[in-house]
Amino acid sequence: MANRRNVLIAGAAAAAGAAGGYAWWRTQNPTSPAAPVTPTTPPAPAFKPDAAFPNALRVPGADGLYGIHDVTDAFTLAAKPVRQEIVAGKPATLLAYEVESQGKRLLNPVLRLRSGGKVNAKLWNGLEETSIIHWHGLHVDSNNDGHPHYAVAGGATYEYNFPVPNRAATYWYHPHPHHLTGKQVYLGLGGLFVVEDDEELALQKSLDLKLGVTDIPLVLHDRRLDAQGQLVFNPTDEDKADGFLGSQVLVNWTPKPYFEASTRVYRFRILNASNARPYKLAFYANEQRSGQLLPFQLIGNDGGLIDSPRTIKEVFVSPAERIDVLLDLRNAKVGDAITLASVTFDPMENEDGPEDKNKPAEKGKDAKPEDKGAHEAHGAKTDKGAAPADVKVAEKEKDKEKDKSDIPEPGVAMEILRIHVRRKEAYDRAVPATLSRIVPIAANCSSPRLIHLDHVKMVWRINGQTYYDEKTPITVKRGATEVWNVRNAEASMPHPFHIHGFQFQILERKGSPAQQKTLSVNDKGLAASDLGWKDTVLVWPGETVCIAIDFTHPFKGDQVYMIHCHNLEHEDQGMMLNLKVQA
């Protein structure tokens, strides 16, 4: 695999072309304003923040970006370009889902409802390309899941109508059109979907938690910005093979953010919404940068609360995964500062293993006809010799290397958020010893179905195949409980493996690298973040993750979902397969 240091590149922003879609959208909505709205920016701080983190964190509120929308009645999400400052004083063009709620405009709203409630929503595609919304983690029928074959053209609508039986958790919604998911997510489309139930409300009451005040969502995007504060997305072929990385981590679309806290317990719901970058998250006090990390409690993940709090110091979060953590600041002093960071780890992105059959074939050697076809089908260059144009492109890419040194490689330490303790607060709430009851799926790892992740000539595959919309290579029976071994080739890179429509339980990790093993909390190699219910799991090179899935559902007829890698460049290049659940 190519080394990222040789392939990182800065390109032109791709958002500008979407502006025409808004013009169309406004003609269909005559009450819309004459120009895209610019949500209000956070107020100036009452104190002087440090220079490294000068911007107040955007948090969910009543309007604007990540405004909270309680789902009670029918509503419309308009996918459209908007003007929004990422860098202060430099309005940028982003894509966002706009919702009108009680006279206010919300962008990428936090959708909130009780478990058992219903969603009656319309997607209005105001883009100049196809799109569809996937409700990531929700247990819905395939007509409502957001499969790419339901993507609608610019100017069209798609109706969603489904109940939400899921337990309380932080889910999310994002676009899922084939070949365009990475671009649309990168340019801004996506929001949180918070489900509440009795267990969740009991936790909120016991710890005095309020969404947007002491219960803080943190959506992590690594992005590239040009000198004008515009998003840059222009992946090369190498980026498509490895995943497109940003030069800095934005939190809730805030660069270099800080958050003002008091001496109490805070909850952070963390979503990795980056296209490809995994994080190893940890907290430390500024005076402890030598390596002493602060303990925090993990209380939930993709599928909601786990059985009891687990005290940890580090946790991996791959693209699309969520974690739910508590940070106890009761012993902090006013004036203290705590940093959320991704600490150093081995990204294992250029692994060479003994499985020669999974390595890219050398030019002119061992290239099977089917491998060549798959390679050409994804728009990659075939081995016909370098034309003069290729030489010129190579020279241009070499010239651009000077401008690409600011993009950290995966695994490099990155500071993400500064937490300033500003107020003393009397707080005597105790974290409950029991959070939830997790009923284990009755299964073991004997006789599993194999799901094999590998690549040929820079084309990533599942079970030796890439996506074809009319094929359903994986078929299961409704009501069946299956055990899958998700195995990553040794000559590989980490893959965040995601299943649509169903949550699963992780039974065991085998062949894990040392950095994963050190996080184990049981004899099955599971980390605290692997407990409970999941919909996405990071699988390291040479590792096998054994998962159990209950395919019970109440929907009529056959249901077609997907499995795929949630590295969005891998997904867009075809590292996904249809999954049919037969009635």
Q: Where are the alpha helices (DSSP H) in 330-444?
A: 369-377, 388-400
pLDDT recorded at residue 50: 85
Taking every pair of Cα atoms in the chain, the longest distance, rounded to a whole number of angstroms, is 72
User: What string of DSSP letters covers 195-229?
Assistant: EE-HHHHHHHHHHT--BTTTEEEEEEEEE-B-TTS
Q: Say yes or no to pLDDT of 371 above 70.
A: no
Return the pLDDT at 313: 97
pLDDT at 158 over 80: yes
Residue 374 pLDDT level (bands cut at 50, 70, 90): very low
Residue 44 pLDDT:
55
Comparing 149 with 18, which gets the higher pLDDT? 149
CB 419 within 8 A of CB 259: yes
Give me the pLDDT at residue 43, please.
57
Most confident of 275-279, 374-378, 387-391: 275-279
Question: Which position has the token pair 């409502």?
Answer: 144
CA–CA distance, 463 with 453 (Å, rounded to integer): 6
pLDDT over 70 percentage in the chain: 82
Judged against a pLDDT cut of 90, whether residue 358 lies above it is answered with: no
pLDDT in tens, 34-56: 344 454 555 555 677 788 999 99
- What dihedral angle (degrees, nearest 10) is formed by the CA atoms of 530, 179, 356, 410? -50
Sequence-distant (6+) residues with CB within 8 A of 293 are 282, 283, 284, 313, 314, 343
Has residue 522 got a pLDDT over 80?
yes
DSSP structure class, residue 184 = H
HEC secondary structure over 394-421:
HHHHHHHHHHCCCCCCCCCCEEEEEEEE
Would you state the pLDDT for residue 102? 85
CA nearest neighbour of 497 among 528, 452, 527, 457 = 452
Lowest mean pLDDT segment, chosen from 11-20, 236-245, 486-495: 11-20
pLDDT (average), residues 144-151? 97
User: Which residues does residue 133 pair with via DSSP β-bridges, in sequence order?
Assistant: 175
- Mean pLDDT, residues 1-23: 37
**pLDDT for res 5:** 34
Please give the model's pTM, rounded to 2 decimal places: 0.86
pLDDT at 218 over 90: yes
Report whether 322 contacts 269 (CB < 8 A). yes
Question: Does residue 356 carry a pLDDT above 70?
Answer: no
Q: What is the pLDDT of residue 261?
A: 98
Average pLDDT, the chain: 86
The CATH-assigned architecture of domain 4-208 is Sandwich (2.60)
Q: How confident is the model at residue 286 (pLDDT cuts 50, 70, 90)?
A: confident
What is residue 406's predicted lDDT score, i.e. its pLDDT? 84
- The more confidently predicted of residues 25 and 65 is 65
Taking residue 531's Cβ as centre, other Cβ atoms within 10 Å add up to 21
Beta strands in 4-89 (DSSP E): 55-56, 64-65, 68-70, 75-87
Of 95-104, 285-294, 391-400, 458-467, where does mean pLDDT reach its minimum? 391-400
The reported pLDDT for the residue numbered 239 is 95
Over residues 437-458, the mean pLDDT reads 94
Locate the domains of the chain by residue range.
Answer: 4-208, 449-582
- Convert the pLDDT of each residue in 174-194 to its tens digit: 999 999 999 999 999 999 999
Domains 4-208 and 449-582 share a fold: yes
pLDDT band for 23, please (50, 70, 90 cuts): very low
| CA distances, 380 to each of 113, 377, 480 (Å) | 44, 8, 39
> Can you name the residues that pair with 561 across neighbouring β-strands?
579
268 to 156, 212, 271, 283, 536: CA distances (angstroms): 36, 10, 10, 12, 19
Q: Is the pLDDT confidence value at 409 over 70?
A: yes
- Percent of the chain topping pLDDT 90: 79
pLDDT at 515: 97
Residue 26 pLDDT > 50: no
Q: Give pLDDT, residue 497.
A: 98
Write the CATH number of the domain with boundaries 449-582. Answer: 2.60.40.420
Of 321 and 406, the one with more pLDDT = 321
pLDDT (0 to 100) of residue 289: 54
